[in-house]
């Protein structure tokens, strides 16, 4: 005869373990459901979408005012959003994702009592385009951003260079459009290089600048390629676009160093002189004094 292990014998009248587990699960479900109902009745699960918290990841303390208004307007159209409705929370994320100044939208987290924290990566303005009498910022990936200004804007890290030439090519541009022409993308690559190699103080020292990349593709010894148009009629020969990665081109950091040395001559001192043309394409830059100054 084979004897099988029956385990410990259950005492008469004892509650089965499986029944206890079922009762505990039912109790937990009832508790969670009633807590949710109580929170919803008290208004704690209802979010005001216009109070979504967004933080910039490129240095300034908050959204530009125009961007804040756009976010508030777009989200206010959704009405009240319940944290218990995952689809509505996803709708908030999708609304943010469709804004031209938003690069990426991550997770959303409820911020009690009536807010929502959303992980968002913003597009950083690095240049601007002229629409005729005003300017719009442009991001590092060539997206035109909201925020009209009557002068080249400064978003906290120095004046933004203007993507030129000023030939009225952007009269019909709107926020959300993307730069397409090669000459404009070449100019944008110069703006990005400025952002990397120059400080805020240096950018402000240079002042407003128009990046004319019309001849970037034809750059050679006898063709200066990209031209930087500075204040008071000064012109800087830059050469090829940084994005071209042309062999033999002087490193970008040396070009900007050459420019800053020339800008220093304008600040005064015993050797002060003005100039109207600077060629920074070579190891030794060439500077042409302005007529009347030696």
Which of residues 119 and 170 earns the better pLDDT score?
Answer: 170
Asked if pLDDT for residue 148 goes beyond 70, the answer is yes
Q: What is the pLDDT of residue 121?
A: 87
The CATH architecture assigned to 125-289 reads 3-Layer(aba) Sandwich (3.40)
Quick one: average pLDDT of 96-102? 91
Q: Which pLDDT value is given to residue 208? A: 93
Out of 32-46, 185-199, 272-286, the most confident range is 185-199
Q: What is the pLDDT of residues 47-93, one digit of tens each?
A: 666 666 666 666 555 678 888 888 888 877 877 666 666 777 788 88
Mean pLDDT score of the chain: 79
Asked if the model's pLDDT at residue 274 lies above 90, the reply is no
| 118 has a pLDDT exceeding 90 | no
DSSP string for residues in the chain: -------SPPPTTPPPHHHHHHHHHHHHHHHHHHHHHHHHHTTTTEE-GGGEE---SSSSSS--HHHHHHHHHHHHTT--EETT-HHHHHHHHHHHHTSTTEEEEEEEEEETTTEEEEEEEEPPEEEEEE-SSSEEEEETTSBB-S--BSS--BSSSSBPPEES--SSTTTT--TT-B--SHHHHHHHHHHHHHHHH--HHHHHHH-S-EEE-TTGGG-BTTB-BEEEE-GGG-EEEEES-GGG--TTPPPHHHHHHHHHHHHHGGG-STT---EEEEE-SSSS-EEEEPTT--
- Per the model's pLDDT, the better-predicted residue between 230 and 113 turns out to be 230
- Report the pLDDT value the prediction gives residue 113, as an integer from 0 to 100: 59
Give tens-digit pLDDT for 16-50. 544 444 334 444 343 334 434 443 444 445 666 66
Domain ranges across the chain: 46-122, 125-289
Residue 157 has pLDDT above 60, yes or no: yes
- Which one has a higher pLDDT value, 286 or 120? 286
pTM: 0.77
């Amino acid at each position: 005869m084979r004897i099988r292990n029956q385990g410990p014998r259950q005492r008469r009248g004892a509650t089965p373990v499986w029944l206890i587990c079922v009762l505990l699960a039912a109790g937990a479900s009832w508790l969670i459901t009633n807590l949710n109902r109580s929170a919803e009745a008290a208004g704690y699960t209802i979010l005001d979408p216009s109070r979504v918290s967004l933080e910039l990841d490129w240095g300034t303390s908050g959204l530009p005012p125009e961007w804040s208004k756009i976010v508030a307007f777009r989200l206010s159209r959704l009405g009240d959003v319940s944290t218990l409705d995952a689809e509505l929370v996803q709708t908030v994320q999708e609304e943010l994702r469709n804004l031209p100044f938003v690069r990426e939208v991550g997770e959303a987290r409820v911020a009690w009592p009536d807010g929502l924290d959303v992980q968002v990566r913003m597009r950083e303005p690095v240049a601007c385009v002229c629409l005729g009498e005003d300017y719009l910022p442009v991001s590092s990936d060539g997206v035109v951003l909201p925020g009209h200004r009557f002068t080249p804007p400064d978003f906290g890290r120095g004046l933004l260079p203007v993507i030129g030439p000023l030939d009225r090519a952007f009269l019909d541009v709107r926020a959300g459009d993307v730069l397409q022409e090669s000459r404009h993308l070449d100019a944008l690559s110069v703006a990005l290089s400025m952002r990397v190699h120059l400080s805020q103080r240096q950018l402000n020292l240079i002042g407003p600048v128009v990046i004319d990349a019309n001849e970037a593709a034809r750059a050679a010894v006898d063709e200066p390629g990209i031209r930087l148009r500075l204040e008071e009629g000064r012109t800087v020969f830059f050469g090829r676009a940084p994005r071209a990665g042309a062999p033999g081109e002087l490193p970008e950091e040396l070009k900007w160093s050459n420019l800053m040395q020339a800008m220093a001559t304008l600040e005064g001192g015993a050797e002060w002189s003005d100039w109207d043309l600077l060629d920074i394409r070579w190891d030794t830059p060439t500077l042409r004094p302005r007529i009347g100054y030696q």
